């Protein structure tokens, strides 16, 4: 498309050029109209306060779908490259001078300069570059080794759905109340539920991961037929998996308000606890969220008001006495980590 046909939008006081604004990123479905690149840029600008509260000063991985989100297109992953979409962990060449970065370290010891949004124009620019989903680290740019956020990921396994995750979330809320924490729930944009808790940035990634393990184990003790912390999929059954490894270094969760690469352009929607049992994930899309945001604002507006101590959960981890859990397979072997052999394979190995 010629440059003259590009759109210019106001992104927090900056003129943002959107090339190919009419390019369809999400094709129409039975329930939704097509979503263009300009629609996505305008969506993020419409939820400015919310998306900035989720991303501000956080190193952020960009999930880019430059060809759009169409059936048959594949997302490259750590295990499988060569896809149509990809995760951008380093700042793209040619980024505007207002795009700031933070240097982060991967478990391998390698480093990268990731974008670190400081204003909504950075979000709009990333969207114009084909970013669908933002994956912020749970740290701020001034201290990238000490998370300020504990993330509880309620991940439905085959045979379970969003309603099952919501039932578990109710018990998670009760446990948070007992610990003296305030949690902030959101839809994942799919079938899951995420709960965020602000913490003081005094503990390491290892500590925060152990806190998530302790929280998950306690939920599993209370709801043994509904909750699992088993890392191996073959052991989980039809239960909600508490994905504690989402708190490991270099593991991220789609931010609040992020668009997800699924038909209809759903978004990860912040909610109140009372709203959670009353909604469906598909209620929240690029088309519907701006009106909701204008009406009720950011349901996570108070998330930064209080930062909590991690000590109650670390004390719980120690009292449980069960030790560590496996890390993702691409991590170096960690101190105290149990074997990374699936139980069935361990049994089948020659003795």
- Helix, strand and coil content of the chain, in percent to the nearest 5, comes to 30, 20, 50
Mean of pLDDT values over 107-127: 96
Quick one: 184 and 125 in the same domain? Answer: no
* pLDDT of res. 78: 76
Tell me the pLDDT tens digit for each residue of 303-348: 999 999 999 999 999 999 999 999 998 898 888 899 887 766 655 5
Quick one: 186 and 208 in the same domain? Answer: yes
pLDDT at 3 over 60: no
Tell me the pLDDT tens digit for each residue of 173-208: 999 999 999 999 999 999 999 999 999 999 999 999
Tell me the pLDDT tens digit for each residue of 207-266: 999 999 999 999 999 999 999 999 999 999 999 999 999 999 999 999 999 999 999 999
Tell me the pLDDT tens digit for each residue of 128-175: 999 999 999 999 999 999 999 999 999 999 999 999 999 999 999 999
* Residue 94 tokens, joined: 């040619």
Query: How sure is the predictor about 2, in pLDDT bands with cuts at 50, 70 and 90?
Result: very low
SS (H, E, C) 144-213: CCCCCEEEEEEEECCCCCHHHHHHHHHHHHHHHHHHCCCCEEEECCCCCEEEEEEECCCCCHHHHHHHHH
Q: Return phi, psi of residue 176, to 5°.
A: -60, -40
Query: How sure is the predictor about 1, in pLDDT bands with cuts at 50, 70 and 90?
Result: very low
pLDDT at 4 over 60: no
Quick one: 184 and 130 in the same domain? Answer: no
| Number of domains the chain contains | 2
Tell me the pLDDT tens digit for each residue of 255-300: 999 999 999 999 999 999 999 999 999 999 999 999 999 999 999 9
**pTM of the predicted protein model:** 0.95
Quick one: 20 and 115 in the same domain? Answer: yes
Calpha distance 159→258 (Å, rounded) = 26
pLDDT at 43 over 80: yes
Tell me the pLDDT tens digit for each residue of 45-97: 999 999 999 999 999 999 999 999 999 999 998 777 788 999 999 999 999 99
* pLDDT of res. 346: 56
* pLDDT of res. 42: 98
CATH number at residue 211: 3.90.920.10
Residue 278 falls within a domain, yes or no? Answer: no
pLDDT at 350 over 80: no
Residue 118 falls within a domain, yes or no? Answer: yes
Quick one: 43 and 153 in the same domain? Answer: no
Q: Which structural domain, as residue segments, surrounds residue 205?
A: 149-251+306-328
Quick one: 122 and 230 in the same domain? Answer: no
Quick one: 197 and 318 in the same domain? Answer: yes
């Amino acid at each position: 498309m010629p440059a003259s046909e590009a759109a210019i939008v106001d992104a927090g006081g900056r003129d943002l050029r959107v090339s190919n604004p009419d390019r369809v990123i999400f094709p129409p479905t039975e329930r939704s109209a097509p979503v263009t690149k300009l629609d996505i840029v305008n969506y993020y600008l419409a939820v400015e306060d919310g998306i900035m509260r989720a991303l501000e000063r956080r190193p952020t991985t960009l999930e880019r779908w430059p060809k759009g989100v169409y059936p048959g297109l594949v997302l490259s992953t750590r295990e499988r490259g060569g896809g149509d979409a990809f995760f951008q962990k380093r700042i793209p060449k040619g980024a505007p001078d207002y795009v700031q970065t933070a240097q982060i370290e991967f478990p391998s010891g390698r480093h990268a300069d990731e974008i670190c949004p400081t204003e909504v124009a950075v979000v709009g620019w990333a969207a114009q570059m084909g970013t669908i989903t933002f994956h912020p680290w749970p740290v701020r740019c001034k201290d990238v080794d000490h998370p300020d956020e504990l993330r509880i990921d309620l991940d439905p396994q085959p045979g379970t759905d969003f309603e099952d995750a919501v039932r578990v979330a109710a018990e998670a809320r009760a446990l948070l109340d007992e610990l003296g924490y305030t949690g902030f729930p959101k839809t994942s944009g799919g079938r899951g539920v995420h709960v965020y808790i602000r913490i003081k940035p005094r503990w390491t990634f290892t500590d925060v991961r152990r806190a998530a393990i302790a929280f998950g184990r306690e939920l599993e003790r209370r709801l043994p037929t509904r909750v699992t912390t088993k890392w191996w999929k073959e052991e989980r059954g039809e239960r909600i998996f508490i994905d504690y490894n989402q708190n490991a270094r270099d593991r991220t969760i789609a931010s609040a308000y992020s668009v997800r690469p699924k038909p209809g352009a759903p978004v990860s929607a912040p909610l109140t606890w009372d709203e959670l049992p009353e909604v469906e994930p598909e209620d929240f899309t690029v088309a519907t969220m701006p009106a909701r945001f204008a009406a009720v604002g950011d349901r996570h507006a108070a998330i930064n008001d209080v930062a909590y101590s991690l000590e109650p959960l670390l004390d719980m981890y120690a009292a449980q006495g069960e030790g560590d859990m496996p890390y993702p397979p691409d991590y170096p072997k960690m101190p105290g980590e149990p074997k990374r052999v699936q139980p069935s394979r361990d049994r089948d190995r020659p003795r």
